[in-house]
């Protein structure tokens, strides 16, 4: 097996650069046959993934955060190599939510051991506007938080950044009117949040969709009805263990296709990256990608 490491040195607010030195030591100690390339700008991960495929590497290893992982995945999918090339992951970002769903350890030695053993799981992906996402889409409140965090929060990371965004956005946010179609089911009303989940976690460890399985051929869609702002603060801590789904304002659905429309400007984030505003459709691509897991 030949490994091509794609490293984003600025991931994790720049901590990834230092972390790579430790990863390199571990990789060389166990004797992996590898090369490494570093991203320099947004989008580089896509091109480097394609380069790794062209060079004949068996495993592409994304070293960085969820954004880095997404870029590497995009390169694999665009080359139609989701079943032929294996994705390896070493978490070095701010949120690291995907590795939580896949149970990939964040300890460097343990993560390198996963690469070495090369156990494969074939997982689903989501598709939106011709692009792909692997973890969770957030519509409404989440989109507004992602905008705040991406544009105005540079000194915090992970859960701390997300919670800061919640407090900054919450009391000025108004739940929009939305029409939600999940396969043949149609919902209409005011909703503070809609999460379309392939994985369980987002926001640096919040279990937004506790029943989501990344290889079961369907999304878990979590719909939160309009609630009082203080109620949001009350329920927020329960998300870390997935207990928010017990709240009467939270509804959970499952489906393969989701379409949302609103007469208002409603922001959308997919895996932490802003994707635009409604209307927008989302579709599951089943058994799309081979990933190394413990």
Q: In the prediction, which pLDDT does 159 show?
A: 75
Collect all residues with Cβ–Cβ distance below 8 Å to 191 and sequence separation of at least 6.
140, 175, 176, 178, 180, 223, 224, 225, 226
The residue ranges of every structural domain in the chain are 2-120, 133-286
Average pLDDT score over the chain: 93
pLDDT the model gives residue 160: 81
pLDDT recorded at residue 154:
67
**Rama region for 43: left / alpha / beta (φ>0; ψ in -120 to 50; rest):** left
Residue numbers of the chain with a pLDDT score lower than 50: none
Q: Structure tokens of 39?
A: 């991203």
Q: Does domain 2-120 have CATH number 3.20.20.70?
A: no
Which pLDDT score, from 0 to 100, does residue 168 have?
A: 86
What are 131-176's pLDDT values in tens digits?
889 999 999 999 998 888 877 776 676 678 778 888 888 888 999 9
Distance, in Å, from the CA atom of 85 to the CA atom of 116, rounded to the nearest integer, reads 15
What is the reported pLDDT for 289?
97
Smallest CA-to-CA distance from 249 within 262, 241, 238, 260 is with 238
d(CA 285, CA 264): 29
pLDDT of residue 273: 83
Q: Confirm if 260 and 278 have CB atoms less than 8 A apart.
A: yes
| CATH architecture of structural domain 133-286 | Sandwich (2.60)
The answer to whether domain 2-120 and domain 133-286 are alike in fold is no
Predicted local confidence at residue 158, as pLDDT: 67
């Amino acid at each position: 097996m030949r490994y091509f490491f794609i490293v984003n040195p600025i991931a994790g607010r720049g901590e990834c650069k230092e972390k790579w030195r430790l990863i390199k030591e571990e990789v060389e100690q166990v004797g992996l046959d590898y090369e490494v390339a570093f991203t320099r700008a947004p989008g580089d991960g896509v091109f480097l993934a394609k380069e790794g495929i062209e060079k004949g590497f068996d495993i592409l290893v994304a070293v960085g955060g969820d954004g880095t992982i997404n870029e590497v995945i995009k390169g694999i999918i665009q080359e139609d190599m989701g079943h032929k090339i294996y994705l390896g992951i070493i978490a070095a970002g701010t949120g690291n939510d995907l590795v939580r769903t896949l149970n990939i350890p964040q300890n460097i030695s343990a993560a390198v051991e996963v690469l070495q053993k090369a156990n494969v799981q074939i997982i689903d992906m989501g598709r939106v506007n011709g692009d792909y996402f692997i973890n969770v889409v957030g519509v409404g409140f989440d989109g507004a938080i992602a905008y705040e965090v991406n544009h105005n929060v540079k000194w915090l990371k992970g859960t701390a950044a997300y919670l800061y965004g919640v407090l900054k956005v919450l009391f000025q946010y108004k739940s929009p009117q939305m029409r939600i179609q999940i396969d043949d089911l149609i919902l209409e009303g005011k909703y503070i949040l809609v999460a379309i989940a392939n994985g369980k976690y987002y926001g640096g460890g919040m279990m937004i969709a506790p029943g989501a399985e990344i290889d079961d051929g369907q999304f878990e869609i979590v719909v939160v009805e309009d609630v009082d702002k203080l109620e949001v603060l009350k329920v927020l801590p329960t998300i870390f263990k997935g207990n928010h789904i017990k709240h009467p304002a939270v509804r959970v659905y499952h489906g393969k296709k989701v379409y949302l429309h609103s007469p208002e400007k409603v922001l959308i984030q997919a895996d932490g990256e802003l994707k635009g505003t409604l209307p927008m459709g989302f579709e599951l691509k089943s058994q799309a990608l081979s990933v190394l897991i413990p």
